[in-house]
């Protein structure tokens, strides 16, 4: 029984070693498979990275081209905007110039009309002064005429009073004479006046009227 025990332990150790080697082989194969997988993934990652770099470079080129195009377009747009602005400003300047010319024309016409109105006003002022002077003269003349008229009227009234007094005195004298000789007057027949006496009476009336008119004038 004794010699078989070492053999058993050796066999067991050998089996343990074989199991360990098998485990290591399986581990190695598994690690190699993982390594192969990692390598394939790394190769794929490198390929993707390269493709990404290529795409990135291409995109950079595209972006640079688009940036250049954008700059050119922005420059063109800016130039177009400047041209439009310049045209608009020129149009506004032309409008302002036309308005200024019209304003100058209106100002000139206004100045001409103002000068004409000043001349008219000066003429009207002169006419007004002349008319005021004439009115003053007319007022003076009217006052003189009125005073002369009043004086003449007073003289005429005085002359009328004198004539009335004289006629009244004559009438009283005639009445007195009639009262003194009633019989003589009653006995004499009424005879028409001669033609010469009628003419003399008419002439006396005309002379009285002329004297009255001379006194009035």
Give domain status of residue 77, yes or no.
yes
Question: Which runs of consecutive H residues, i.e. helices, occur in 181-189?
Answer: 182-187
Cα separation, 169 vs 167, in Å, equals 5
Range of the domain at 110: 14-138
Give domain status of residue 79, yes or no.
yes
Give domain status of residue 160, yes or no.
no
Give domain status of residue 112, yes or no.
yes
Give domain status of residue 168, yes or no.
no
- Write down the pTM of the prediction: 0.33
Number of domains in the chain: 1
One digit per residue, the tens of pLDDT, for the chain of length 217 reads 445 666 788 888 888 888 988 898 899 999 999 999 988 888 888 888 888 889 888 888 888 888 888 888 888 888 888 889 999 999 999 999 999 999 999 899 998 988 888 889 988 988 988 888 888 888 888 888 888 878 887 887 888 888 888 888 887 888 777 777 655 544 444 444 444 455 555 566 666 666 655 554 4
Give domain status of residue 151, yes or no.
no
Cα separation, 185 vs 108, in Å, equals 103
């Amino acid at each position: 029984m004794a010699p078989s025990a070492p053999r058993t332990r050796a066999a067991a150790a050998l089996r343990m070693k074989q199991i360990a080697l098998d485990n290591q082989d399986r581990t190695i194969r598994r690690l190699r498979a993982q390594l192969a997988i990692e390598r394939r993934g790394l190769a794929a990652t490198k390929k993707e990275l390269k493709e990404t770099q290529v795409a990135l470079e291409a995109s950079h080129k595209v972006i640079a081209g688009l940036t250049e195009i954008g700059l050119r377009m922005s420059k063109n747009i800016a130039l177009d905007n400047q041209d439009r602005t310049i045209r608009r400003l020129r149009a506004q300047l032309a409008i302002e110039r036309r308005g200024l010319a019209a304003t100058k024309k209106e100002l000139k016409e206004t100045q001409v009309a103002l000068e004409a109105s000043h001349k008219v006003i000066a003429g009207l002022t002169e006419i007004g002064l002349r008319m005021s002077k004439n009115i003053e003269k007319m007022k003076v003349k009217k006052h003189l005429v009125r005073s002369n008229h009043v004086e003449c009227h007073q003289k005429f009234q005085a002359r009328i009073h004198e004539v009335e007094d004289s006629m009244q005195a004559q009438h009283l004298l005639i009445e007195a004479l009639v009262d003194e000789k009633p019989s003589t007057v009653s006995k004499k027949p009424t005879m028409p006046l001669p033609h010469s006496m009628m003419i003399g009476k008419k002439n006396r009336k005309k002379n009285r009227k002329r004297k009255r008119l001379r006194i009035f004038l």
